[in-house]
Structure 1
Amino acid sequence: MTTSDDALTYVYAAAPLETGLQDALSGLRGIYGSPVLFVTAPPGADPGPSPPLAFATSHVPRRDFNESALKNHFEDLEWLEDVARAHHDVVQALSTHTTVLPLRMATVYQDDDRAVQALAEQHDAFAERLAQLAAHTEFGVKIYLAPTAAPPDTGPAADADTGAATNPGKAYLQRRRAQHNAQEAVYGQAQQAAGIVGAVASRYASHHVRHPAQSGALTGPAENVLNDAYLVPEAYAEEFRAAVEEAVGAFDGIRVEVTGPWAPYSFAMPPAEPRHPATGEEPGS
């Protein structure tokens, strides 16, 4: 296990060292087109029946992934998108062959030996989580509200009390009130749909995570009001998707999006801060 002086060891995920992992790595390329390799560490004192674990890794340029470079890169959206896509593609490729525990993007170590040491230190925690994720997959369920347009200005209308034409200010307020009422009705539909999604999903999913609603460029003109993730046994994956889509198909004014299957990003425990980061210093020192 070697790493050149001008490279760091980038870690995508942890996985059992089984035939599936080695099959997945054959010809797989990661960040900057670098080959995806693996490093292993011996299990703890009481490994039990579980196989040894491996980190899926690549060697990446130190100039781009050292601590100071990452601080600058995290403000470069184009660079971030490219790295995130490569990271995701590797994790997804692994997940089609074996159980995988995704690690946080930009988890890097000084060299392969440091990565092995980190894997050994966290071996038992990783093994326990991988056992819980085995034969499961992640689905996302999002609910969006379609934008509610303001009612058109149809000119002066008769006042309901006097029969006289309303003035422009009062007509504007009436239109705004109508828009507000329509939006409230749509929110009510979304709330009802969310309750149904939760009830249906609970029949299939073993775990559930509620993420913050998305906003901005991620959603476009629609408003995201629900952003949930479900961990579903692979045997029920298609039943889960079909049941959720059927349960919410009759709602107007909202859009329900079911995505997946994905590698279980939402259910991977947060990795501990690397004790041997690329700088050779403890975090925060």
Structure 2
Amino acid sequence: MKKPRKPAKTRSKKAATKKPPRPVGRVLYLYGIGKAKPVKRSPRAPGVDGAAAVEAFACSGLTCWLSRVDAHEFGEQLEQNIENLDWLAEASVRHQRVVAELSTRDTILPARFGTVFVTEKTLAADVARRKRDLGPALKRLAGADEWGVKVFVVAEPVHAAVAAESGRDYLRQKAAMLKPAPATQVSKEVQDLAEALSKVAADAVPGGKVSGGQRGLEWQASFLVRRADRKKWDDVLSKFARRWGSETGHERRIETTGPWPPYSFVSQNAR
């Protein structure tokens, strides 16, 4: 007589011994690079994925600010995710908030959105390779912020730009900033403003780096301004705003944005 089988019990036991799923792989998402001695505490702002902490990682005598994020979302899938407006809106705003918070505490070379490294070793190797450029760049940007300046020819009252309330608002504003500026003849008055601002600023990037294609936009530029020179900077802007507001025929409006992390003043090798 045959013995009864014990199929169900043994099979379930075997199934129970299966290895648990492997933990999700992680990659290093870089926000920026700072000096060797970082600020005492990490930013309060959440990481680019909305969950990961922002941490300091020392390499080559400098500090890399990063988050350890999902390797699929920010690695294999990153290119497709960037095409998803909702995903891009949320992630880019988080990136900007982290960089902005870091920049209020120390000099930071902001990284481009979507800068990812597979391992600490590859990140350290990249920083070591570029260290000759990173050191001087940090020194040049120390104690300075980026300011954007635009001059509009005003034919009718124009409402001031509203601060971005959501990720989509932020992306719309950034999209407007990336449009090429219309080819217009810059007036003598605007040239005088540009010259006066350049004398106060540590550096300037004309056109192209800031928004273009807006109605009535006559001129635009980005400036690197030392915080110690902020009063002089404000005085120049106030002087021209008063002049254009009081003189007949000068229907122009000055719009400024900032302070920002100095994105426009970080060279390709220092990003």
Q: Does structure 2 retain, via aligned residues, the 8 Å contact 1:24–1:93?
A: no
What is the aligned length?
216
Q: Distance in 2 between matches of 1:225 and 1:73?
A: 35
**Which of the pair has the greater relative contact order for Cα pairs under 8 Å at 6+ separation?**
1
Gaps of 5+ in 1: 43-51, 150-186, 274-285
Q: Does structure 1 retain, via aligned residues, the 8 Å contact 2:45–2:97?
A: no
Task: Verify: 1:205 aligned to 2:201, yes or no.
Answer: yes
Task: Verify: 1:230 aligned to 2:223, yes or no.
Answer: yes
Question: Which ranges of 4 or more aligned residues in structure 1 deviate by more than 6 Å?
Answer: none
Q: Distance in 1 between matches of 2:41 and 2:261?
A: 14
SS of 2:105 mapped into structure 1? coil
Name the structure 1 match of 2:84: 76
Q: Distance in 1 between matches of 2:230 and 2:98?
A: 22
Q: Distance in 2 between matches of 1:225 and 1:6?
A: 49
Q: Distance in 1 between matches of 2:93 and 2:187?
A: 33
Name the structure 2 match of 1:270: 268
1:92-118 per-residue CA deviation (whole Å, 9 max, x = no partner) reads 111111111111110001122221221
1:178-198 per-residue CA deviation (whole Å, 9 max, x = no partner) reads xxxxxxxxx77x623421221
Name the structure 2 match of 1:53: 62
Task: Verify: 1:114 aligned to 2:122, yes or no.
Answer: yes
Task: Verify: 1:7 aligned to 2:26, yes or no.
Answer: yes
Q: Does structure 2 retain, via aligned residues, the 8 Å contact 1:245–1:258?
A: no
| RMSD value, Cα | 2.5
1:184-240 per-residue CA deviation (whole Å, 9 max, x = no partner) reads xxx77x623421221211221121101326346xx4xx3333221111121011320
Q: Which of residues 5, 16, 32 in structure 1 aligns to 2:35?
A: 16
Q: Does structure 1 retain, via aligned residues, the 8 Å contact 2:144–2:227?
A: yes
Name the structure 2 match of 1:35: 53
Q: Does structure 2 retain, via aligned residues, the 8 Å contact 1:40–1:119?
A: no
Name the structure 1 match of 2:178: none
Query: What amino acid is the match of 1:191?
Result: S
Q: Distance in 2 between matches of 1:129 and 1:78?
A: 34
Q: Does structure 1 retain, via aligned residues, the 8 Å contact 2:45–2:94?
A: no
1:26/1:85 Cα in 2 relative to 1: closer, same or farther (>3 Å)? closer
Q: Distance in 1 between matches of 2:189 and 2:53?
A: 44
How far residue 126 of structure 1 moved from its aligned partner, in angstroms, is: 0.6
Query: What amino acid is the match of 1:40?
Result: A
Q: Does structure 2 retain, via aligned residues, the 8 Å contact 1:193–1:248?
A: no
Q: Distance in 2 between matches of 1:66 and 1:26?
A: 24
Query: What amino acid is the match of 1:229?
Result: S
Q: Does structure 2 retain, via aligned residues, the 8 Å contact 1:39–1:116?
A: no
How far residue 56 of structure 1 moved from its aligned partner, in angstroms, is: 0.5
SS of 2:139 mapped into structure 1? helix
Q: Does structure 1 retain, via aligned residues, the 8 Å contact 2:31–2:98?
A: yes
Task: Verify: 1:214 aligned to 2:217, yes or no.
Answer: no
Task: Verify: 1:247 aligned to 2:255, yes or no.
Answer: no
SS of 1:248 mapped into structure 2? helix
SS of 1:250 mapped into structure 2? helix
Q: Does structure 2 retain, via aligned residues, the 8 Å contact 1:11–1:56?
A: yes
1:119/1:235 Cα in 2 relative to 1: closer, same or farther (>3 Å)? same
Gaps of 5+ in 2: 1-22, 158-183, 245-249
Name the structure 1 match of 2:191: 195
How far residue 247 of structure 1 moved from its aligned partner, in angstroms, is: 1.4
Q: Does structure 1 retain, via aligned residues, the 8 Å contact 2:110–2:263?
A: yes
TM-score (norm 1): 0.68
Task: Verify: 1:258 aligned to 2:267, yes or no.
Answer: no
How far residue 122 of structure 1 moved from its aligned partner, in angstroms, is: 1.4
Percent identity of the aligned residues?
25
Q: Does structure 1 retain, via aligned residues, the 8 Å contact 2:24–2:70?
A: no
